[in-house]
Copies of this chain bind each other. A is one copy, B any other.
Amino acid sequence: MTEVRLTRKGQATRDRIVAAASELMFERGVAGTSTDDVRAAAGVSTSQIYHYFSDKRTLVLAVIAHQTEAVLTTQEPLLSTLDSLEALRAWRDFLVALQQGYGCRGGCPIGSLGSELADVDDEARQAVATGYTRWETSIRAGLHAMRDRGDLRPDADPDRLALATLTALQGGLLLTQVRRDTVALEAALDSMIDHIGSFAPPR
């Protein structure tokens, strides 16, 4: 992708397009959103859209980056300090409450894009994978801190536990959306946190 240096006004227009596209694609999916829908929602002209994004695929990559940032930022400061069972439980409670606040709609903004795009656009698939890796890295850091501190036994594998936790969370967000309740999300995260707790050294 070509990096274009934007004026402050240009950056604001670009941001407005990405925000409008993100919202529409979150609600209707990528296939259900035309660049003309985005143009109308952002209140810009067709030539303005094509000034910033050469085609819909380029816009979709910007949407993935935007949603990754939004998802990770929403979970701060909890996500950066998952270094105790209490912190993991507080994060779990936060995620459940967040989904309930959304009426159990929408699922994961990154996961939905991943599910729709993984097999039809390899660049988009990789961008979603990168988003997951950032998420996973934050969870890893907390679990590594726990093991380093002796709160988890040396045989605990923080990397594998972090990936399993993110995976359970992704399943939980999908089932929340399909069932319209958070029971699956709660059961999966509780099981995973209990499993992490099973690596606590004997007192």
* Chain A interface residues toward B at CB < 8 A: 27-29, 31-32, 105-107, 111-112, 114-116, 118-120, 125, 128-129, 132, 160-161, 163-164, 166-172, 174-175, 177-180, 183-185, 187-188, 190-192, 194-195, 198
Contacts and interface: CB of A to CB of B under 8 A. Distances in A.
Contacts of A125: 177-178, 180
Given A119-B105, A167-B171, A167-B172, A178 B29 contact: no
Contacts of A28: 120
B178 A164 contact: no
A166 to B, nearest CB: 7
Contact of A115 (B107, B169, B191): B107
Copies in the complex: 2
Contacts of A116: 29, 115-116
A194 B121 CA distance: 36
Contacts of A177: 114-115, 118-119, 125
| Residue of A114, A115, A177, A179 with most chain B CB atoms under a 10 A cut-off | A115
Nearest to A181: B129
A163 B192 contact: no
Given A112-B115, A187-B163, A175 B132 contact: yes
Contacts of A168: 164, 167-168, 171, 188, 191-192
Given A29-B31, A164-B191, 4 more contacts: A27-B119, A163-B187, A171-B188, A192-B195
Given A179-B132, A188-B168, A111 B120 contact: no
Nearest to A195: B195
A167 B163 contact: no
